[in-house]
Structure 1
Amino acid sequence: MKKLKLNGAILLMLGMTGSAFAQNGFYAGASIGQTTIDACSGIDNCDDEDIGWKIVGGWALNSNLAFEAAWVDFGEVDGAIDGSKISAEIDGWSVAAKGTLPLNDQFALFGKFGMIMWDVEGGGAASGIDDDGNDPLYGLGAEYTFTDQLSIVGEWEWYDIDEDVDLFSVGVLYKF
């Protein structure tokens, strides 16, 4: 009996997923931009900027609400402490709710709120340092739609990872 209920639940979820695909609510994309990691306190010759990028997938429930998941690579911060070179790479998985305000058929503004599950790995004199955690993320952006399936986005995202991390990026979205 339990197997029957489990199979029924799985079939129901697959049916709902199929309906969601039929409504063209899924999208995927990629962005690249400038990352600033506010982690230079006490570090000599600190370089706290790098190229950041992300790969995103989402599901738009309607024209005003979507949910996104992304893999984000913030790049590296480096410098020196007492003459020894150190570095740290930061990346993580994020999930967020995205509220959109369409201004016309092509242009929309949006805001995001979610969480990032991040990981930091040290290099140089900081080798062996490995830290991780979960923290909030916030974002603001704009989207311009060229066709029913192709859009360009520009956004600013702020991640409250121990130290502030900002990502200003431009990317493309493909809607299925």
Structure 2
Amino acid sequence: MNKTKLFGAILLTLGMTADALADNDFYAGASIGQATIDACDGVSNCDDEDTSWKVFGGWELNPNLAFEAGFVDFGEISGTVGGTSVSAEVDGWTLAAKGTWPVNEQFGVFGKFGAIMWDVEGGGAASGISDDGTDLLYGIGAQYMLTNQFGIVGEWEWYDIESDVDLYSVGVLFKF
């Protein structure tokens, strides 16, 4: 067998394997980033930024549409009110529709729109204070698949949790 035919047979086999792996409908991932919570009105020495993390999973109906659920921890904001230290931790469960525009086989940009069921727990002088609710979220981002099953994702998300919350994050994505 000459080298051209052997090379063609290898490429054909790799192409068939890639097609079989490309039918991954479910995915999961985790991200870490920076959250900014716009809730410093009336708070001195306010620190409204913290490290944030999230875990998520989704189901791709097709290459352009997915539904995604996740849990996000925005971290803690802190400051002083009347000379007394206060803080609050914010987290929530999310559900969103995700529309993707695949630029090529590896790279795509996306937008998402959905809701967050959030919870705020006070600390310091605000200890024992709790609030929760459900509000809107939206975001934009991009993902680059390094293989058919593993990729990296970067995104910006906005949450309407009684005040604006912005989250910039990077993470990993696993398709299965």
Moved segments of 4+, more than 2 Å: none
Q: Deviations over 1:85-133 (max 9, x none)?
A: 0000000100000000000111100000000000000000001110000
Deviation at 1:64, TM superposition (A): 0.1
Q: 2:48 aligns to what?
A: 48
Summarize the alignment of residues 8-157 of structure 1 with structure 2, pairs less than 5 Å apart: 23-157=23-157
Q: Deviations over 1:4-27 (max 9, x none)?
A: xxxxxxxxxxxxxxxxxxx42000
Secondary structure, in 3 states, of the residue corresponding to 1:61? strand
Deviation at 1:39, TM superposition (A): 0.4
Letter in structure 2 aligned against 1:151: G
Unmatched 5+ residue regions in structure 1? 1-22
TM-score (normalizing by structure 2): 0.87
2-side partners of 1:29 and 1:35: how far apart? 18
1-side partners of 2:89 and 2:72: how far apart? 11
Q: 1:19 aligns to what?
A: none
**Number of corresponding residues:** 155
Secondary structure, in 3 states, of the residue corresponding to 2:72? strand
CA RMSD of aligned residues (A): 1.0
Unmatched 5+ residue regions in structure 2? 1-22
TM-score (normalizing by structure 1): 0.87
2-side partners of 1:163 and 1:128: how far apart? 20
Letter in structure 2 aligned against 1:72: V
Q: Which has the larger radius of gyration?
A: 2
Q: 2:169 aligns to what?
A: 169
2-side partners of 1:138 and 1:102: how far apart? 19
